[in-house]
Structure 1
């Protein structure tokens, strides 16, 4: 069973205490879909399950670093300030520049690491282990993959650890995991709230 690597900076909002059932919501502030679908879903689930499930939002950055940063996350949490493409979407479609449904759940910013530190740590190994069936590959195949991973990330000056180590497809992403950080479900993109709600209800039985 895959492990969830939750590597964040200090919490900016709320408190996260690991529970038997946990859900992480990985998003970017410059991601309209995260606001259209993701945050409302998380607010709804938080309202329903906050007494039984631990919640954490992880604001990350794998592009558009001028918008996807901790300063803009704090502005969002303080007064709903929107930036970049998210601001453009809500301004164009609703004539507003502040998000009306500010996140209610605990939130931290992803830990950002310079590539040089990533290269000189065990993170490359963790990233490769997140690849399906990686442990079953031959040693030669593993070396080829590790070399490709290093070459790819050498072009990126900063690495968002939670997003990268878990090899997430993009944002929004929802990860459900247990107290040992074993993953029981990963959901990427526009999800039905019923799918996530039913999964949590099933795990709580």
Structure 2
């Protein structure tokens, strides 16, 4: 988490399809809530063993009117195996109850949102404050305590 007060607005999400929600989601529509985005790939071992379970915990522990949890399926490898049809089955199998978006394809196999946030890979966890400013962007394993503390700091 950055300690300076010069936070930058979070880049918009470039999502081609949403699951687990009735309409498209924008960061603007989530203003007033802390937004936690778990960027993942179905075939990423760290995503399946740590990132997504952590996102599920955040979704279960914090009130939805205070913290919005989103999944972002950001595919930068193995494209043929990770289609929206496969993702839909994955979401059902892993019982993901929060909205999951498919990151739009970009240039050189790097999806658009992944590029905008300069993500290094998956799993990545993004935290956006209630005003829409990017407050943290973690790559790889991040402890539950750290994420919980970052969210709680923004809420209280």
> Under a length normalisation based on structure 2, what TM-score does the superposition of the two structures give?
0.82
Q: How far apart, CA to CA, are the structure 1 residues paired with 2:21 and 2:143?
A: 25
In the TM superposition, what is the alpha-carbon distance from 1:65 to its structure 2 partner? 0.9
Q: 2:52 maps to which residue?
A: 39
Moved over 4 A (4+): none
Distance in structure 2 (CA, Å) of the matches to 1:7 and 1:203: 25
Query: Residue 38 of structure 2 aligns with which residue?
Result: 25
Partner Cα separation in structure 1 for residue 52 and residue 98 of structure 2:
9
Structure 2 CA distance, aligned partners of 1:188 and 1:102?
23
Q: Is the 8 A contact 1:172 1:190 kept in 2?
A: yes
Q: Does 1:162 align with 2:113?
A: yes
Decide whether the 8 Å contact of 2:58 with 2:69 is kept in 1.
no
**C-alpha distance in 1, partners of 2:131/2:76?**
27
Q: Among 5, 15, 19, which residue is 1:8 paired with?
A: 15
Q: Over residues 18-48 of structure 1, what are the superposed CA-to-partner deviations in whole Å (9 max), with x where a residue is unaligned?
A: 1331111100111011010011111111011
8 A Cα contact 2:31 2:131, kept in partner: no
Trace 1:127-146 onto structure 2 (pairs within 5 A): none
Query: Alignment length, in residue pairs?
Result: 142
1:159 and 1:173 map into 2 onto residues whose CA distance is 14
Aligned position for 1:174:
125
Within 2, Cα distance between the matches of 1:66 and 1:191? 29
Contact 1:29/1:67 (CA < 8 Å) preserved in 2?
A: no
Unaligned runs of 5+ in 1: 81-100, 116-155
1:72 to 2:76 alignment: no
Query: How well do the aligned residues superpose, as a CA RMSD in angstroms?
Result: 1.7
TM-score by length of 1: 0.64
Q: Could you list the per-position Cα deviations for residues 118-177 of structure 1 after superposition, in whole angstroms to 9, with x for gaps in the alignment?
A: xxxxxxxxxxxxxxxxxxxxxxxxxxxxxxxxxxxxxx2x44111112110110111111
**Residue in 2 that maps onto 1:85:** none
Aligned-residue offset at 1:180:
4.5
TM-aligned CA deviation for residue 10 of structure 1: 3.0
Can you give the 5+ residue segments of structure 2 that lack an aligned partner in the other structure? Answer: 1-6
In structure 1, C-alpha distance between the alignment counterparts of 2:45 and 2:17, rounded to whole Å: 25
Q: Hey, what's the Cα distance between the residues in 1 that align with 2:82 and 2:10? A: 22
**Distance in 1 (alpha carbons) for counterparts of 2:79 and 2:72:** 15
